[in-house]
Structure 1
Amino acid sequence: MALAGTEFYPPATRRLRLGIVGGGRGALVGQWHWTGARLSNRWELVAGALSSDPETARASGRDWLLAEDRIYSDYREMARAEAARPDGIEAVAICTPNWTHRPIAEAFMDHGIDIICDKPMTLSREDCEALEQRQRETGLVFAITHPYPYHPMARQAHEMVKAGAIGTVRQALVEYAQDWATEPDDPDSKSLAWRRDPARIGRASATGDIGTHALQMLEFVSGQPVERLRADFHVCGAPKAMEDTAFISLRLANGAPAAMWITQAAPGNYCALRFRIYGDKGGLEWDQEFPETLRYTPLNQPEQTVVRGHGAGVVPSAERMVLLPRGHGESLSDAWGSLYREIAIAVTARREGSAVPEGLLSLPDITTGSRGVRFINSAADSHEAGGVWVNLR
Structure 2
Amino acid sequence: FDPARAARAGLVIDAVFGAGLARDVDGVAAAVLHAVRAPLLAVDVPSGIDGATGQVRGFAPQAALTVTFFRRKPGHLLLPGRSLCGEVICADIGLPAAVLDAIAPRCFANAPGLWHLPAARVEDHKYRRGHVTVAAGATMTGAARLAAGAARRAGAGLVSLMAPDAATAAILRGGEPGAMVTEEAAATLLADARRSVWVVGPGLAPDAATQALGRSVIAAGRVLVADAALLTACVGAPEALVGATVLTPHAREFAYMFGDPLDRLAACRAAAARIGGVVLLKGADTVIAAPDGRAAINENAPPSLATGGSGDVLAGTIAALIARGMAPFEAACAGAWAQGEAARRIGPGLIPEDVIAALPAALQAAGIVQQKVD
Pair in the same fold by TM > 0.5? no
Q: Which of structures 1 and 2 has the bigger CA Rg?
A: 2
Alignment TM-score, normalising by the size of structure 2? 0.38
Query: Which has the larger share of strand?
Result: 1
For normalisation by structure 1, the TM-score amounts to: 0.36
